[in-house]
Amino acid sequence: MNVIQTDGLGQRYRQTWALRDCRLTVPAGHVAALVGHNGAGKTTLLRILAGVVTPTAGTATVLGYTPGSQQARDAVSAVDQTVPLYRHLRVRDQVAAARELNDQWDTDLAVQRLSSLNLMTSGKVGKLSGGQQAQLALTLALARRPRLLLLDEPLASLDPLARQEVLGWLMTCVAEDGLSVVFSSHVITELERVATYLVVLSQGQVQVAATVDSLLDSHLALTGPAADAGQLAGQVPVITAQRTGRQAQVLARTDTAPPGWAARPVTMEELVLGYLREPAARVLPPLEAAR
Size of the site for another protein (CB under 8 A): 30
Q: Does the protein bind another protein through residue 194 (CB under 8 A)?
A: yes
Of 34, 5, 53, 10, nearest to 204 by C-alpha is: 10
d(CA 187, CA 206): 19
**Quick check: 196 binds another protein (CB under 8 A)?**
yes
Minimum CB separation from another protein for residue 196, in Å? 5
Q: How far apart are CA 18 and CA 44, in angstroms?
A: 7
168 binds another protein per the rule CB under 8 A? yes
Burial of 213 (0-12, 13-18, 19+ CB in 10 A): exposed
> Which span sits near another protein by CB under 8 A: 13-21, 124-132, 192-200, 228-236?
192-200
* Binding region for another protein (CB under 8 A) out of 90-98, 116-124, 198-206, 261-269: 261-269
Closest distance to another protein from the beta carbon of 169 (Å): 7
Q: Which stretch binds another protein (CB under 8 A): 57-65, 72-80, 111-119, 214-222?
A: 214-222
Burial of 262 by CB count in 10 Å (0-12 exposed, 13-18 middle, 19+ buried)? exposed
Amino acid at 144: R
- Give backbone dihedrals phi and psi of 22, rounded to 5 degrees, phi first: -95, 115
Q: How far is the CB of 191 from another protein (least distance, A)?
A: 10
Classify burial at 176, counting beta carbons within 10 Å of its beta carbon; exposed 0-12, middle 13-18, buried 19 or more: exposed
Asked whether position 174 contacts another protein by CB under 8 A, the answer is: yes
The piece of 11-19, 56-64, 215-223, 245-253 that touches another protein (CB under 8 A) is 215-223
Q: Is 187 helix (H, G, I), strand (E, B) or coil?
A: coil
Does residue 167 bind another protein (CB under 8 A)?
Answer: yes
Whichever of 85 and 283 has its CB closer to another protein, that residue is 283
Pairing state between β 247-252 and 220-225: antiparallel
Is 257 an interacting residue with respect to another protein (CB under 8 A)?
A: yes
| 260 is an interface residue for another protein by CB under 8 A | no
Is residue 177 involved in binding another protein (CB under 8 A)?
Answer: no
CB neighbour list of residue 261: distance below 8 Å, 6 or more residues apart: 222, 223, 224, 228, 232, 250
Is residue 31 a contact residue for another protein (CB under 8 A)?
Answer: yes
Residue 159 near another protein by CB under 8 A: no
Interface ranges with another protein (CB under 8 A): 31, 164-165, 167-172, 174-176, 189-190, 192-196, 216-217, 220, 255-257, 262-265, 267
